[in-house]
Structure 1
Amino acid sequence: MTNVSGLPRGVFLGLATLDVLQYVEHPPGPNEKATSFEHALAAGGPATNAAVTFAALGGRAVLVTALATDPSGDLVRAELASRGVEVVELAPSPRVTPVSSITVATATGERSIVGSDAAGAPPVAVDDDALRRLLAEAEVLLLDGHYGDAAVEAARLANDLAVPVVLDVGRWKPAFDALVGLADHVVCSEAVRPPGFEGTDHAASIRRLAELGAGHVVVTRGGGEVLVRSSGAVETVEVPVPRVVAVDTLGAGDAFHGAYAHAVASAGRATDGSEPAASGASMSDELPRRAAAFAAGIAATRVQHRGPRAWLAHLTG
């Protein structure tokens, strides 16, 4: 089945949390209390925030995740529905929905996070037939490494269907040992290194990811240039990043990943949106550089605005 909606469609499999955000002048120290002057509740998690970004850019986003039937889960479902993100739930449901407590220092825009992620959640199962139907209409699959067995199965199905796989490597998770070799685009945060390569430079880390079977490798470096090594290339190129004043860096990486996925999905469609583009479009040398440049612009918009969602009103891409 082909996606004929005219909109790029992405499937996002990974973590969904309820984020409780507090904005303070500086994070409290031991036995210190800080008064926040602003707070917010929002759905969170790497795949979740990427899906919200993808939808805000005009895509059709489907989030495959695990939520409990509890007040926190209800808040997450409601917020995602208001953002145009369709939620497909894995089974069995966790006992409680993960909650993250986040403190953002207004002086620097930096954040501190305490969260349970999916720790303690029962292993989830993925319905292969249902997931295959979702992917058959998709131009991209993004995985954040949570719910590892389901993520690996999704990546294999995507490979069978020639759907590009974008891997969000915010920190190394056990599932990445299998997922890196199934991914067309491996997008890493600056501090991430494969096992055994901790402390190495970016060049060594990128080479190792390529040896593990990664397609394109992209490394974000905060406000620094994005490193891109196209599949099969020897050289790594630097993609410029807009110079902006950051007031809130929370979710900037997730926004980058969602925008990157949107660029990949858009490249997989003809200009009229009626038929998929030529086979191999996701693996062209030029695509990761264009996708990284586009995503860097979106992430730059994110960091200039305080709050988890206010920035979406300023999107122009």
Structure 2
Amino acid sequence: MSKGLFVGMVTLDLIYLVEQLPNRNQKIVAIDALTSAGGPATNAAVAFQHLENQVVVMGAIGTHPTAHLIVTELQEWGVAIADLAPTRTESPPVSSILVTRSTGERAVVSINAVKFQIGREQIPPNVLAGVDVVLVDGHQMEIGAAIAKQASGGSAKQASGGSAQSAQDQKIPVVMDGGSWKPGFETVLPWVDYAICSANFYPPGCKTTQEVMNYLSKFGIEHIAVTNGGDAIALLSHGESGSIQVPHVPIIDTLGAGDIFHGAFCHFILQTNFKQALVQSAQIAARACQFFGTRQWMRPTSV
């Protein structure tokens, strides 16, 4: 059993399954609805825990009544919490999500963690004790950069001049969830071992997947993957390019598929090589897409 620390956004997700998105000034009735904790790091943490690991999710939650819903749901899945804002009375971010039944596509309205940024002085002591892998999603940028630096032993893989620290020498591997580019991500990149990005991740000046890989490589990141929904995953590992086909399955809901992919990757990368970890993670994410919501695929009754 491994232990992971997942740093980033924690939200309350209100998820609705609908036949179609509403038109202007239209009211619709949902087919189904779910409430769960959400956010990239949070969904990834639940998936990692489900794969028979221990996990701590680090984010800003607080004491608002909404926060109690988040905490209760995460406790149901065995996820431990390191609350960066334990006395905050404001509501944590809430997301409203509409999933179209015929396509599995989701539309999301939310306030991300921009208003909930926490300084590194709030990092609990000894938070990396016993941790085998760290995931950073970029929504708590200062915290994420500090944790990633600490996990990597404080010796950055500089783009110029400095020599890269080998994976064997690093204390804890750092995985980056690159869902989309966020200002300040450049402070995290020097400490990243595995960059797993979506097709919507475009650093400044980048317009293509190859440009994204070139950009990340300049920070000394040796293992890079770019997912693209149902299309092939592009990868770059030790300078060698490749691609991985993803399973084609009946799609019910794509919500959180990327997050679940990241959580599975953190599990598999501790057991196998980069390419095989991507293959196995894609299988997990494909399974999740066959169920409504981000949790149903893990329940014992799901077949």
Judging changes above 3 Å, is the alpha-carbon distance between structure 1 residues 58 and 162 closer, same or farther for their aligned structure 2 residues? same
Query: Which of 2, 5, 9 is equivalent to 1:8?
Result: 2
SS at match of 2:270: helix
Asked if 1:106 corresponds to 2:101, the answer is yes
Which string of whole-angstrom CA distances, capped at 9 and with x for unpartnered residues, describes residues 249-295 of structure 1? 0000000000001112345xxxxxxxxxxxxxxxxxxx210110011
Counterpart residue number, 1:298: 284
Which string of whole-angstrom CA distances, capped at 9 and with x for unpartnered residues, describes residues 205-254 of structure 1? 21111013323101111011111111x31x31111211111110000000
Alpha-carbon distance in 1 for matches of 2:117, 2:136: 19
Asked if 1:64 corresponds to 2:64, the answer is no
Counterpart residue number, 1:170: 179
Amino acid corresponding to residue 72 of structure 2 in structure 1:
A
CA contact (8 A) 1:9 1:265 kept: no
Using the size of structure 2 for normalisation, the TM-score is 0.89
Counterpart residue number, 2:17: 23
SS at match of 1:136: coil
CA contact (8 A) 2:84 2:123 kept: no
CA contact (8 A) 1:18 1:72 kept: yes
CA-based RMSD of the aligned residues comes to 1.8
Alpha-carbon distance in 1 for matches of 2:188, 2:223: 13
CA contact (8 A) 1:24 1:37 kept: yes
Counterpart residue number, 2:202: 193
Counterpart residue number, 1:307: 293
User: Which 5+ residue runs of structure 2 have no aligned equivalent?
Assistant: 154-169
Q: Calculate percent identity across the aligned residue pairs.
A: 36
Asked if 1:204 corresponds to 2:211, the answer is yes
Asked if 1:238 corresponds to 2:243, the answer is yes
Counterpart residue number, 1:73: 67
User: Which 5+ residue runs of structure 1 have no aligned equivalent?
Assistant: 1-6, 268-286
Query: Which of 228, 249, 252 is equivalent to 1:247?
Result: 252
Alpha-carbon distance in 2 for matches of 1:226, 1:28: 33
Alpha-carbon distance in 1 for matches of 2:7, 2:20: 34
Counterpart residue number, 1:274: none
Query: Which of 135, 149, 152 is equivalent to 1:156?
Result: 149
Query: Which of 246, 258, 269 is equivalent to 1:264?
Result: 269
Q: Which moved more, 1:51-60 or 1:202-211?
A: 202-211
Counterpart residue number, 1:116: 111
Alpha-carbon distance in 2 for matches of 1:246, 1:64: 31
1:128 deviates by: 5.3
How many residues get paired?
Answer: 285
Alpha-carbon distance in 1 for matches of 2:184, 2:46: 24
1:172 deviates by: 0.5
